Amino acid sequence: MTTVDPTNTTPVDPNAVSLTINGKAVSARKGDLIIAAADKSNEFIPRFCYHPRMAPAGMCRQCLVEVEGPRGPMMVVSCMTPVAEGQVVRTDTEQVKKAQEGVLELLLANHPLDCPVCDKGGECPLQDQAFSHGPGESRYVEEKRHYEKPIPISDNVFLDRERCILCDRCTRFADEVAGDALISFTSRGNNTQVMTFPDEPFSSYFSGNTVQICPVGALTAKPYRFKARPWDLDQTESTCTTCSVGCRTVVQSSRDELVRYQGVDIDPVNWGWLCDRGRFNFESVNSDQRLTTPYLKDAQGNHVATTWSAALDTAARMLRTSLATSSDSVAIIGGARGTNEDAFAWAQLADAVGVNQRDAQLADGLPAEIFSLPQASIDEAVAANTIILLSPDLKEELPVLFLRVRDVAQKRKSKVVEITSRPTGITPSAWKTVLVEPGKIASTVASGLDPAIVKQIGSGSVSVIVGRMNLAESAESTVLALAEILHLAPQAKVLPVLRRGNVRGAVTAGLTPQQGAADTAEILELSAAGKIDTLVLLGSDPLSDVPDADLARRGLAGARNIISIDAFMTPSSSQAHVVLPAAAFGEKNGTTTNLEGRMSNVAQKITPAGTSRPDWMIACELASALGKDLGFNSVEDVTAKLVKTVAQFAPAANTKALRHDGVLMNHPAPLTLSRTTLPIPDRNSYDYRIVSFRKLYDAAVGTAKSPSLVHLAEGASVVVHPLDLARVGVEHGSHVQVISAKSTVVLPVATSESVMRGTAWLPFNQPGNDAREMFDVQADVIDVRIEKLA
């Protein structure tokens, strides 16, 4: 007899469903699929087409189970049947075994048993489940299907149609998740095959995910093909720091060399997905162009390899001499590419010797006060009723965040309002796209928004994803636009999307101008004026990244000493007097912070190249050479002090959480932004206002030093509206001269109907003639003339 306990106030969950699987009581949520409920209760049901992050297709038929129905047991596919109260599921009856073995035999019928030479062999769901749920032997004696063995379907992905079991995972991913429906089934029946459209490669930024989720060896990625066997791999979980999304990955090596990254599914961030840049740029860590030893510049200006002690001595002497004059004669630029520990050790060193001029951002970000607004996590940002994008093209800069936003937009869970100067990857899924000429964002938000958008903003929760949408437009323009949005939606939460790997961690750890000291742009101006004696480049390359080529050049030329800590000889480090080789991703332990302030660990998998060392260790060495002791003997010491010293990092004391989902940092008390207007000059009708933006593949070292990615950067160009080009009087594809107040650059010209009349697109940091020659960090907007070559 059951009685109701009146003191029991535990609310009954209306969405709880209880069922039994093989006699075991299982609790699930309404809407869960049987296969997911079985997974949670450790009852494995074999499957191929089912993937928890995609809509079920029910087509491989491997997951057949029996469910008790009114007319006896019914055979259903567990990947498409939702749980129901009191449901009785059996996965172990004769009938189920027979059906599962039958389907597996049929899947193997045309599958070539070339496992010994297949990259998937050893980690292959088909192979594994053939052993666990298969009939043991095949009775298929006919000739198998034959197709040309692997055909490239994109630059990095190969397709072997003989191995394909047509589970629809890759094609569903491309269509549903990535929005690049470039692969699809063709032909019919026994001749069905996955194929691209004629002359249209599977050029998706997310193509590597299809390789990861392929349940057989049909899709393989060029960077890993024939590099290792799964049983040779050693692996460790880490966090990708290619951009600031902070996707969870597993770093795999063989013979002390990185061979593969795979996405790890964590709920708060990447759901198992990675972008191709993050997935394949391990090649740059293995590059033979890595710096393996310190260098000193000799009297003739040549770099000569040297020992660490000689290099550190020289660097310490430079710093000591400069500090003896004034601590303002030293400046540190960079730190966003390392770990939290790297940044913190350098901030501690700077504190110890009184250097206030330090900045992890390269004049291409936003002021650090952006982190002091009411913060949204990624989950909170995509769960808002209205998501306002005041950001760069997420698909190009922060690809996996793009997938998260696209997911809610496609499923009509949230409405995306995009305010931008050019259509982006999210535009097809956005509810509204507001196209604004550079410089006019704030004024448009203040007075020119569609009333429907204003109404929508007022109707529920709002999140603002804010970043630097146009590198030829001042950061202030974005900040003021944000101020207007926050005025319109005072409860809105902000997700800052600064792009560089650990920029948020570095800024929070202290690599940001102290007490009103100079930021990167100002440091470079000071340096150009001869006021910087020693300039430290902490994994930064101002010559490539600062959106003002002239300023960067003058700044570096004006510094008496440059100390560069870098993994590669970059344009900036080749001007340095001391070059110290830094350990790269995968070569050091520590923690990193993603764009939402989530701290998680990065892990060492291989030995650092040559004699390179992590940045934090170099900071310690320099400190002791300067007579200061930072007190760090290991990276754990740095983490421990960081957690104790910087209040925002306190949650990182939870070291267990750091090793998987990560923990969100504490946020400071929120600020309010002030609203003013910028004096934006009117555009001359012969001029074009520049919209400059990063593409996923550009001239950045991670891409440039990865052989599989380097050719994917499309090269510098200028893109205008076809009618504007007609006005210039040249053909699409020919070269034009682009003239700004600062410089003239010759670029190939392309057209697109998507360009707003009167604006010109200039992809940032692409190989070729450098558009940054025309930029000026002091200007709010940059107008150029486009003319025929003389």
Which residues contact other proteins by CB under 8 A?
58-62, 64, 75, 77, 80-82, 95, 98-99, 102-103, 105-107, 109-110, 139-140, 142, 165-166, 184-185, 187-192
Question: Is the CB of residue 673 less than 8 Å from the CB of residue 489?
Answer: no
Q: How many C-beta atoms lie closer than 10 Å to residue 309's C-beta?
A: 11
Q: Name the minimum Å distance from CB 665 to other proteins.
A: 42
Residue 48 Cβ vs other proteins, minimum distance, rounded to whole Å: 9
Closest to other proteins by CB, 105 vs 180, is: 105
**CA–CA gap between residue 94 and residue 90 (Å, rounded):** 10
| Cβ nearer to other proteins, comparing 143 with 256 | 143
Helix (H, G, I), strand (E, B) or coil at 415: strand
Nearer residue to other proteins within complex by CB, 126 or 483: 126
Cα 778 to Cα 528: distance, rounded to the nearest angstrom: 15
The minimum distance between CB 85 and other proteins, in angstroms, equals 16
CB nearer other proteins, residue 105 or residue 351: 105
Do residues 31 and 9 make contact, with C-beta atoms less than 8 angstroms apart?
no
Q: Which is nearer to other proteins, 110 or 765 (CB)?
A: 110
Nearer to other proteins by Cβ, of 196 and 604: the residue is 196
For residue 485, give the H/E element and its range: helix 475-488
Nearer to other proteins, 70 or 516 (CB): 70
Eight-class DSSP state of 12:
P
Report the residue number, 24 or 98, with the smaller CB distance to other proteins: 98
Q: How far is the CB of 594 from other proteins (least distance, A)?
A: 36
Closest CA to 328 of 358, 348, 361: 358
Rounded to the nearest whole angstrom, what is the least distance from the CB of residue 92 to other proteins in the complex?
A: 15
Please, which residue, 138 or 444, has the CB nearer to other proteins? 138
Name residue 212's amino acid.
Q
Minimum distance from residue 161 beta carbon to other proteins (Å): 12
Question: For residue 207, with 0-12 CB atoms within 10 Å meaning exposed, 13-18 middle and 19 or more buried, which class applies?
Answer: buried
H or E element that contains 453 = helix 451-458
Length of the chain: 790
- Amino acid making up residue 103: V
H/E stretch holding 40 reads helix 34-40
Nearer Cβ to other proteins, position 58 or 715? 58
Nearer to other proteins, 64 or 709 (CB): 64
For residue 455, the minimal CB distance to other proteins (Å) is 24
Smallest CA-to-CA distance from 228 within 153, 167, 282 is with 282
- Please, what is the minimum distance in Å from the beta carbon of residue 194 to other proteins? 11
Give which of 783, 747, 776, 779 is closest to 763, Cα–Cα.
747
Q: How far is the CB of 142 from other proteins (least distance, A)?
A: 5
Helices (H), 589-721: 615-625, 635-645, 655-658, 701-704, 707-710
**CA dist., res. 451 & res. 389, Å (int):** 17
**Amino acid identity for residue 419 in this structure:** I
Backbone region of residue 713 per phi and psi (left: phi > 0; alpha: psi in -120 to 50; beta: other values): beta
Residue 378 DSSP SS3: helix
Identify which of residues 81 and 249 has a Cβ nearer to other proteins in the complex: 81
**Of the candidates 790, 201, 303, 281, the residue with the CA atom closest to the CA atom of residue 581:** 303
Nearer to other proteins by Cβ, of 194 and 518: the residue is 194
Task: Tokens for 189, please give them.
Answer: 């029946």
In terms of Cα–Cα distance, which of 784, 686, 692 is closest to 744?
784
The answer to whether 258 touches 282, Cβ cutoff 8 Å, is yes
Q: How far is the CB of 196 from other proteins (least distance, A)?
A: 15
- Reported in sequence order, the residue ranges of 400-445 that DSSP labels E, i.e. its strands, are 415-420, 432-435
**Measured from the CB of residue 56, what is the shortest distance to other proteins in angstroms?**
8
For other proteins, give the closer residue by CB, 167 or 445.
Answer: 167
Strand order in the sheet with 598-602: 590-593, 598-602, 663-664
User: Shortest gap between Cβ of 109 and other proteins (angstroms)?
Assistant: 5
Q: CB of 182: closest distance to other proteins in angstroms?
A: 16
CB of 425 to other proteins, least distance (A): 24
CB of 98 to other proteins, least distance (A): 6
Name residue 495's beta-bridge partners: 465
Q: Reduce the DSSP state of residue 86 to 3 states and report it.
A: coil
Question: Between residues 71 and 656, which has the closer beta carbon with respect to other proteins?
Answer: 71
Residues forming a β-bridge with 701: none
Q: Are 108 and 162 in contact (CB under 8 A)?
A: no
Contacts of 54 (CB under 8 A, 6+ apart): 169, 172, 173, 176, 177
Give the pair of three-digit tokens for residue 17: 């469903």
